[in-house]
Amino acid sequence: MKKLASIFFLFICLSCGVSVNFDYDKTTDFSKYKSYSYFTNMNTGLSEFDSKRLFKALDDAMASRGFILSVNSDFIINIKSSTYEDAYNNSSLGVGVGGGGGNVGGGISVGIPIGQANMSRQIKFEFVDANTNQLFWQAITSESDVPRDYPEEREAKFREIVAKVLEGFPPKK
């Protein structure tokens, strides 16, 4: 029974994770990029606290990969996010009343939503060459069940997002 519960918990954890889609310019020489910066006046779409958490996670991950945060950088990072109510939340209770006799019939049906709507978030990371101002790499994350509670949970989620995003940078050829 404990094994079944562990497998079920693992399945739930894996199914609610972050998915990432990558795209890049195949002609780009990624070995020339050593330093990065962020677009000025970037509107991430996140709260000020969440923006700081995301930048901290990204800076730590980039430093561990040997990239340097610099004013005169090789590439510039732009981040945009949007949060939306999950359209696939079909949790509702249907109540129907009907009747009929002979050749007469009628009915009434009501859908009652159950629980809260799930919030989903998409974050787009764009890496732009500082010299040519051309987009050369992009990652788009999608996650459902966006954490709304504790700062620790939010920090952990942003570290997870950044780790998955940077799995694809630089792309393996």
Total count of domains within the chain: 1
What pLDDT is recorded for position 85?
76
Measured at the alpha carbon of residue 80, what is the angle toward residues 38 and 91, in degrees to the nearest 5?
150
What pLDDT is recorded for position 15?
47
Residue 133 placed within a domain = yes
Tokens of 91: 């949790």
DSSP count for the chain of H helices, then E strands: 3, 8
Residue 27 placed within a domain = yes
Across the chain, mean pLDDT equals: 82
Q: Report the pLDDT averaged over residues 132-150.
A: 88
Residue 24 placed within a domain = yes
What pLDDT is recorded for position 160?
94
What pLDDT is recorded for position 149?
76
Residue 69 placed within a domain = yes
Taking only the tens place, the pLDDT of each residue in 28-46 is 999 999 999 999 989 999 9
Task: Give the domain extent around 69.
Answer: 18-87+118-166
CB 98 within 8 A of CB 106: yes
Tokens of 46: 């996140």
Taking only the tens place, the pLDDT of each residue in 48-105 is 999 999 999 999 999 999 999 999 999 999 999 988 776 555 555 555 555 656 666 5
Tokens of 63: 């430093």
What pLDDT is recorded for position 41?
87
Tokens of 97: 């009343």
Q: What pTM was computed for the model?
A: 0.73
Domain of 161: which CATH number?
3.30.160.670
Indicate the pLDDT class of residue 17, thresholds 50, 70 and 90.
Answer: confident
